[in-house]
Structure 1
Amino acid sequence: MEHEYALIGGMNRSQVGRYISLVAAAISAACVFVVLSLVDLAKTFGVNATIPPSLLSLLGAGAVFSALYWFFNRFAWRWAPVGKLLRVPDLSGCWECEGETLNPDGSTKQRWTGQITILQSWDKLRVHLRTTSSGSDSINAALISDPVQGYILLYHYKNQPRIGEADLRPHRGCAELAFAPDRLSASGEYFNGYGRDTFGRLQLKKAQ
């Protein structure tokens, strides 16, 4: 399931909500004004026009806010100018992953490949990794906008081995990914515990 994620270094979400509220109030007031003006105009021509209460409720600030927030959460925040203002990157999509499990001395213990799928909206996120032997899903996450290092994704995940993988156990771990400025690649590190004590490096490339 998608979950909320912390946003560090980007625009405060409550501030964004206030801006959307102001826009919603302005749009609602303008719509009500137009509707009432049309009713008055109709009456000058002898037309007995009335306004159903349900129509005014649809034009209320609350209803307009809900529509605007839905549009913003699903689409508007992804637009490049808006994302730049908010300092939030769109990381959603499929990523080819090359992993390297390390020994305590830093030498390579095992190489593996997988595919990472990132689902992201303005307020929710999910990171899913699928390999030939197991799958993992993020439990919580934080997205950091750093003026020096760029965008960094930190997340805590739960891993479940496929049926028949007798040598693997369910476990939990953490990963840190630093994304390139063009957001087409990323590199990072991971470590596991609570069932599997391993650590290593990750390389991601955006799937075409």
Structure 2
Amino acid sequence: MVTPQDHEYAVMGGVERAKIGRYLSIVSSVISAGLVFSLLSVVDLAKTSGLNVNVPPAVLSLLGAGMVFGGLCWILSKYAWKWPLIDRLLKVPNLAGIWDCQGESLHLDGTVAYQWNGEVTIVQSWDKLRIRLKTAHSGSSSMAAALATDSVDGYVLLYQYRNDPKVGESTLASHMGCAVVTIANDLTLATAEYFNGGSRGTFGKMNWTKRL
């Protein structure tokens, strides 16, 4: 059994992450130069006032472009990607949180085989994602995912998952599957279709409602 963990996800239709990295490099250089200039100006001003002030090299290294770049990347990954205007620019919706799930497994003719309920927990940063679905009998975790902006329906989330039954569920077996989730623009409702492979070979649909 593979230990579930947050994984990278692709963004289709948004700004390429490589471009964001280049932009951050430029901004980091400008900020770093400004900070160093301001610090040295303060030191010069202090010396003209008769104060014996020296700046240790370690302080200047903390203001270097590399350190600033790392700080900006951390802020973007944890917080800034969710801020208004920035999220619209990046086209990465914030799906993080808990969603209530109502599912239906279907027969080949489209009739309902059985109904089930579950809870979806989504953990997300700018470049990492994990989708965890828990039901009364099993749990699944995403292994790969992609997000796309739909100009009509909102957003489309595609992900591959691994499902493992709970202990004692002798009639169930571990299997792989995939889901296509269409999420409304207000990020509170979603509809999905899922397909299981391997020993299950089942399919169905889901309705997600964001828990407020």
TM over 0.5: yes
Partner of 1:194: 198
Residue 163 of structure 2, aligned match among 149, 159, 179? 159
Q: Offset of 1:21 from its aligned partner?
A: 1.4
Q: Offset of 1:81 from its aligned partner?
A: 1.4
Whether the aligned pair in 1 keeps the contact of 2:143 and 2:159 (CA below 8 Å) is yes
Q: Offset of 1:18 from its aligned partner?
A: 1.4
Give the fraction of aligned pairs with identical amino acids, expressed as a percent: 51
Distance 1:80 1:105 in 2: 45
1:16-165 correspondence runs (5 A)? 16-165=20-169
Whether the aligned pair in 2 keeps the contact of 1:9 and 1:146 (CA below 8 Å) is no
Q: Which runs of 4+ in 1 moved over 6 A?
A: none
Deviates more, 1:127-136 or 1:22-31: 22-31
Whether the aligned pair in 2 keeps the contact of 1:3 and 1:126 (CA below 8 Å) is yes
- Secondary structure at the residue paired with 2:104? strand
Q: Offset of 1:22 from its aligned partner?
A: 1.4
Confirm or deny that 1:169 pairs with 2:169.
no
Structure 1 unmatched ranges of 5 or more: none
Distance 2:155 2:84 in 1: 15
Deviates more, 1:76-85 or 1:134-143: 76-85
Task: Tell me how large the CA RMSD over aligned residues is.
Answer: 0.8
Residue 179 of structure 1, aligned match among 183, 188, 192? 183
